[in-house]
Amino acid sequence: MIQKIWYRIFQTGMKYAAYLMPWRKPELLHGKNSILRLAGYLQKRGIRNVLVVTDRGIASAGLMNPMLQSFRKRGIRCYIYDKTVPNPTIDNIEEALALYKRMGCQAIIGFGGGSSMDCAKGVGARAACPKKQIPQMKGQLKVRRKLPLLVAVPTTSGTGSEATLAAVVTDSRTHEKYAINDLVLIPKVAVLDPMLTKNLPPHITSTTGMDALTHAVEAYIGRSNTRETRRMSVKATRLIMENLTKAYHNGANLRARSNMQRASYYAGVAFTRAYVGYVHAIAHTLGGFYSIPHGLANAVILPYVLEAYGESVYRPLAQLYDAARLPYGAKGNKAKALAFIAHIKKMNREMGIPQKLSGIQEKDIPIMAERACAEAHPLYPVPRIMERAELERIYHLISDIDTGKAAA
């Protein structure tokens, strides 16, 4: 009990301290083919050498070609690091940093999903703080130095990294996945070009979209939200409920794609100030231990955690139910909240997202639960503080361990 009181005191202090911090949002270049305007933006600021951090899938797909051609026309030299892996590692950051230094780069572009953008942020943090290693920046406000010009170009609509102060990094030696949180990591510029998401595979569309929904929901139900974060969460939730399955079924629907980009950005603005909760704490451990894609993990975990919160989330989920204009005719906070959770499950089913995750091992659950608690406590202002045993139960609920035993 005393420990939980301390958590709440800490969270309250952080909430009010946040009002004194210099929050900002990235400058937006948005709309169809807005990526072509980035070269002019950089040229006006005297940027001649740029590092692009991406992954091999993006590089081989040719998504960067229009941007690279526009850079060449403006005389901007571009050096590409394309070895970023899902759940980017410290090694990724150090390799990209070496290229950045060797080529005398002046700006960093994270081009891709959350992994590429987080890796780019890590490079920026190391460039700004050459005497600090990545583990030394783990946690809150440990960078505190101006980064090189940082540009985020999301090619998915989910992570919100283009708007956030967080870079999530994996230590491949310990399997630990953690966040570096600092206001200087908010990108200077974000490019929201729906053409970059047009050919996104359906399974990536679905899981990254549910990632964005998780950001919006966790920010809204937490205890550190503000009028602005609530407004952003509501806008994101409504847009996702109205557009995600449309984008999933028809990737060429640019209106749905554009709306999902906006939703991801709004959700990013919301959770970077209001934080997330146990869904993310659990998902980060699954990414660290098994490289389970973050969006997939969030999509599966979200309804289980919302159910575990119980009546502590009935009122805010009922408000989101109303804001999303869900068509179930539910009356009362509890009925609306349960209908909202049921709708999340329905969306998952429609988009082929499984109810459970394969590969979770019984022996890993205690340490994963311990690490999830360490991430969440005392920082995350969750609606209801859970004990480690409750988180272990959620790991079992989301895994196929028991069903596998039954089948055997």
**What DSSP state is assigned to residue 89?**
B
- Geometric angle at alpha carbon 344, from 339 and 349, rounded to 5°: 120
Which residues are bridge partners to 53 per DSSP? 81, 110
pLDDT value for 102: 97
- 352, two tokens: 């082929």
The answer to pTM > 0.75 is yes
102 burial type by CB count under 10 A (0-12 exposed, 13-18 middle, 19+ buried):
exposed
What pLDDT does 403 receive?
Answer: 53
CB 283 within 8 A of CB 305: no
d(CA 191, CA 27): 9
Two tokens, residue 115: 């992994």
pLDDT in tens, the chain (408 residues): 899 999 999 999 999 999 999 999 999 999 999 999 999 999 999 999 999 999 999 999 999 999 999 999 999 999 999 999 988 999 999 999 999 999 999 999 999 999 999 999 999 999 999 999 999 999 889 998 999 999 999 999 999 999 999 999 988 888 888 889 999 999 999 999 999 999 899 999 999 999 999 999 999 999 999 999 999 999 999 999 999 999 999 999 999 999 999 999 999 999 999 999 999 999 999 998 998 999 999 999 999 999 999 999 999 999 999 999 999 999 999 999 999 999 999 999 999 999 999 999 999 999 999 999 999 999 999 999 999 999 999 999 999 876 544 343
Domains of the chain: 17-196 (3.40.50.1970), 202-407 (1.20.1090.10)
Q: What are the Cα distances from residue 134, in Å, to 22, 119, 180, 203, 273?
A: 23, 11, 8, 32, 22
Confidence at residue 143, expressed as pLDDT on a 0 to 100 scale = 95
> DSSP string covering 10-44, please?
HHHHHHHHHTTS-----EEEESTTGGGGHHHHHHH
What is the structure's pLDDT at 406?
37
Cβ atoms of 70 and 121 closer than 8 Å: no
- Looking at the DSSP assignment, which residues form a beta bridge with residue 154? 112
pLDDT of 177 reads 84
pLDDT at position 407, please?
A: 40
Q: Whose CA is closest to 275, among 76, 7, 62?
A: 7
